[in-house]
Structure 1
C-alpha cells in the first residue's frame, strides 16, 4: 500500500514538474482550442452569407451583374428535305453572323447602397457601341440564297438582366433607325436580350451600326468579344477594380481617383468563328470584364487573420511557459485555456465591432482590449510586473505585425515567413541557457 502511494506521489510530482509533459499538455490544449477557432470561422461565414443575401436582394431591384453579348445578326432560313412519304418539307434554321469590327466605350458610375449593416456596390454605365458587319458567302455554308428569309433578319443584343435597362435603345443600321424590343429570335448565343428586325440589311458589302445602352448593374460588368476585332474601353472613378475573365486589359491605369482600361480581342483569340448555324458553338467562356471590389470587406479580412490564430496561441503559451521555467511558478492548464480563449475573443470582438465602425478602428480597439485583459491576468497570476510588461509587449508586437501583414496582401507570405523566423530566433536566444535536463530532474 505504501509503495503504491509513493508511486502515485512520484508520478504526480513528475507530471507536475516535467517540462516535457507540460509541453505535451500545452500542445493538447492548442488542439482543443482549434474547436472554438472553427466555431468562429463558422460565425464569420454565417455573417458573410447574410451579407451576400442582403446584397443579392438589393441587386435584384437595381440590376444584377451584367454581361453584354453582341451585337450580332440572326437570319432564319429554310432547309428542305424529304420525309418518309417522299413529301417535301423544311426545317427552320438560324444563321448567326458576328460583326467584323466592334468598338465599345463607356463610363461606369458606381454607387454604394446600404441596407442595415451591409453595403453593396451598384453601378450605372453608358455604353457607346458601333461597328460594321458583312454577310459571308452563303455557298460556304451550303445555303441557297432563295431559302433565306431576308425580311426576318434580326439584329440582336444580349443583355443578361433586362431590369437594368434605363432608356430606350435605338439602333442606327445602315442609316435607318430601329427601336429595340425585348426578346431574341433564339437563345443560341444569349439567354436574354433585346433586338429588332432590320429591313435595311445589305446581303453584299458592309453594314454599319451604332447604338447606346444606358444600363444599371451590380458589382460585375462583362463583355463577350463577338467582333473579328473587339475593342472595349472603360473608365470609372472607382479606385479598386478587379479585372477578370478570359482576357485582361491590354492597357490600364488605376489610382485613387479611378481607373481606365482597354481591351483588344481578335477572333483568333477565341474558340468560335464569325458565323455558324444554330447552337454549334458556346461563346460564354470568352467573356471578360471587371468587378468593382469593396476593399472594406471585413469578413474576408477577418477570415485572413483568423489563419494566424494558432500562431498567436502557440507563441503566447510559449511566453507563459518560459516564464514558468524562469520564475519557478507553475501554471494550471485551466489558466492556459483561459488565456487561449481570451486570444480567440479578439476575433469575435473584431467581427462584431467592424460591422459598425471602420475595420482599422475595430482592430485597434479589439487588440488593445485583449492585450490589457491578458496583461492584467498575467500580473494577477504571477505577481510580476516585469513579466506582465513583457507579455504586453509580445502581444502588441504580434498584433502590429498581423496588422502590417493584413495591409501588405501581396507580400503576406514573405512577411509571414520573416515574422516566424524572427520570433523563433528570439525564442531560441532567450532559452539558450536553460538546462532542460536539469528541469526534468528537479
Structure 2
C-alpha cells in the first residue's frame, strides 16, 4: 500500500460556492421579470376596475361638486361685449346626510351615495361697490341664480329656492360657463338699479346621487358645512380638513368652516377672472378593498423577499454542507413570485389583510414542504418557515404604514443586513472549496 497523497482541488472545486453565488444573483435578477409581469397584471386589473367604476357612475352619477348659489347679472363693459358680474352670498350654510351604498359590477365594488343637502344663506349687494360699475350698466331684469352641479344626471328632486319670500324653480343649464360648465339656473327679477332687491335670506333643498366623492366650493364670506353619514371609511384629502371630525363603527360626522380670507377669489367680480374651484373641499368614500394599490406596494419588495430567501438557503448550504441545485433555487423563487398572483386574485374577493395571510400561508407552507424534502431536515424547514413568516409580516406592516413606510423599511433593512453580516462571520470562508483526496493503492 502506497502512502496517500494530497491532491490540490481544481479551480471549479475551489470556487464552486463563489460560482454558485454568481448564479444565484443572476437568477434573482431573472426572477424580477415575472415580478414585473405581476405589476402589469395589477395595472390591467385596476384598469378593469376603473371601467366598472365608470360604467356604474355613468348610470348612477359621477363625482359631485356643489357650487352655489351664485347671482349672475348681465353687464355691458367698455368694449360693448356682453358679460356677467358675479355676486357670492354673504354667508352659506350646508347641512346634509350621505346615504352610502355599494354597487357591484362583476367582482368589482363601487361606492355610491345619495346626498340630501339643505343650503341656506344671505345675499348682500355690498361687494358690488368694490367693482366701480355704475348701476345703469347692470341689466338687473335679466339676472340669474346659478348652482354648479358636476353631473346633472344625479339630481333626484325638483330644486326650488325660497328667497325674499318668493319661490324660484330651477331649470337645467347655466347662462355662462365662466364659473362652471354644468349646473342649474333660475331667472331673478330685480328692479333696475334697486340693489336692495339683492338683500335677503335663501333656503333650498338639494338631493343628488353620486359616486366616490362629493365636494363643495366655499363661496360664502363665511361657509359652514356639516355632513353626517354611516360610511365608516371616509377620506378628507382636499383644500381644507374638517374643523371637527368623528369617525367610528357607526359612520362619521364632519364640519368645516371656511372664511373668504382662506381662498383666492373675492365676493364679486366680472367675467372669467377667478377659478371658483381653487379652494374646493369635501369627502371621498374610501373603499378599503383598494387592493391593487396595496398589492403594488407589496410587489415593490419582491427583490427583498427573493434575495433574502436565497441568501438564507445559501448560508444553509455553506454551514450544513448540503448543496441545492440552481434549478431548486429557481423553483423556490417561482413559488415566491406566485405569492403575488395569489395575493391579487384573493384580495379581489375578500379583505386585503385576510388575502395577504392566506397567500403567505400557502407560499410559506409550499416552501417549508419543499425544504424539508430537499434537505431531509424538518428542523431546517421549520427555521425557514419562521424566518419567512417574520419577513412577510414585516413587509405587511410596511405597506400598511404608508406614512412611516420609509423609516420602518430603512430600519428593517439595517437590522436584516446586520444579521446577515453576523451570520457570515460564523462561516469559515477559508475552508470552503478545500478538498483532500486520498489515493490509496
Same fold (TM over 0.5): yes
Aligned partner of 1:151 in structure 2 is 141
Tell me if the contact between 1:159 and 1:194 (Cα under 8 Å) persists in the aligned partners: yes
Tell me if the contact between 1:242 and 1:291 (Cα under 8 Å) persists in the aligned partners: yes
Matched residue of 1:285: which SS? coil
Q: Is residue 166 from structure 1 mapped to residue 156 from structure 2 by the alignment?
A: yes
Aligned partner of 2:76 in structure 1 is 78
CA distance, structure 2, for counterparts of residue 355 and residue 281 of structure 1: 43
Aligned partner of 1:122 in structure 2 is 112
- TM norm structure 1: 0.90
- Give, in angstroms, the shift of residue 14 of structure 1: 3.8
Which among 350, 354, 371 is matched to residue 361 of structure 1? 354
Task: Please tell me the root mean square deviation across aligned C-alpha atoms, in Å.
Answer: 2.1
CA distance, structure 2, for counterparts of residue 78 and residue 251 of structure 1: 44
TM alignment of 1:292-311, pairs within 5 A:
292-311=285-304
CA distance, structure 1, for counterparts of residue 368 and residue 307 of structure 2: 16
TM alignment of 1:1-400, pairs within 5 A:
10-18=10-18, 21-79=19-77, 90-136=80-126, 140-199=130-189, 203-204=195-196, 206-400=199-393
CA distance, structure 2, for counterparts of residue 139 and residue 393 of structure 1: 75
- Give, in angstroms, the shift of residue 434 of structure 1: 1.4
Tell me if the contact between 2:368 and 2:384 (Cα under 8 Å) persists in the aligned partners: yes
Which runs of 5 or more structure 2 residues have no equivalent in the other structure? 1-8, 436-441
CA distance, structure 2, for counterparts of residue 248 and residue 345 of structure 1: 41
Matched residue of 1:353: which SS? helix
CA distance, structure 1, for counterparts of residue 136 and residue 401 of structure 2: 66
Tell me if the contact between 2:140 and 2:190 (Cα under 8 Å) persists in the aligned partners: no
Tell me if the contact between 2:289 and 2:347 (Cα under 8 Å) persists in the aligned partners: no
CA distance, structure 1, for counterparts of residue 386 and residue 91 of structure 2: 64
- TM norm structure 2: 0.90
- Give, in angstroms, the shift of residue 200 of structure 1: 5.2
Tell me if the contact between 2:143 and 2:188 (Cα under 8 Å) persists in the aligned partners: yes
CA distance, structure 2, for counterparts of residue 125 and residue 249 of structure 1: 18
Deviates more, 1:239-248 or 1:359-368: 359-368
Matched residue of 1:262: which SS? strand
- Give, in angstroms, the shift of residue 266 of structure 1: 1.2
Change (3 A) 1:372 1:80: closer
CA distance, structure 1, for counterparts of residue 404 and residue 280 of structure 2: 30
- Give, in angstroms, the shift of residue 166 of structure 1: 0.5
CA distance, structure 2, for counterparts of residue 50 and residue 430 of structure 1: 47
Tell me if the contact between 1:100 and 1:133 (Cα under 8 Å) persists in the aligned partners: yes
- Give, in angstroms, the shift of residue 348 of structure 1: 0.3
Deviates more, 1:248-257 or 1:51-60: 248-257
Matched residue of 2:432: which SS? helix
Tell me if the contact between 1:112 and 1:120 (Cα under 8 Å) persists in the aligned partners: yes
- Give, in angstroms, the shift of residue 441 of structure 1: 4.5
Change (3 A) 1:17 1:194: closer
- Give, in angstroms, the shift of residue 395 of structure 1: 1.8
- Give, in angstroms, the shift of residue 407 of structure 1: 4.5
Matched residue of 1:291: which SS? strand
CA distance, structure 1, for counterparts of residue 361 and residue 131 of structure 2: 73
Which runs of 5 or more structure 1 residues have no equivalent in the other structure? 1-8, 82-89
For this pair of structures, how many residues does the alignment match?
424
CA distance, structure 2, for counterparts of residue 215 and residue 294 of structure 1: 20
Deviations 1:164-215 (A, max 9, x none): 0000001111110010000111011111100101125761272221111000
Tell me if the contact between 1:176 and 1:200 (Cα under 8 Å) persists in the aligned partners: no
CA distance, structure 2, for counterparts of residue 276 and residue 405 of structure 1: 49
Matched residue of 1:367: which SS? helix
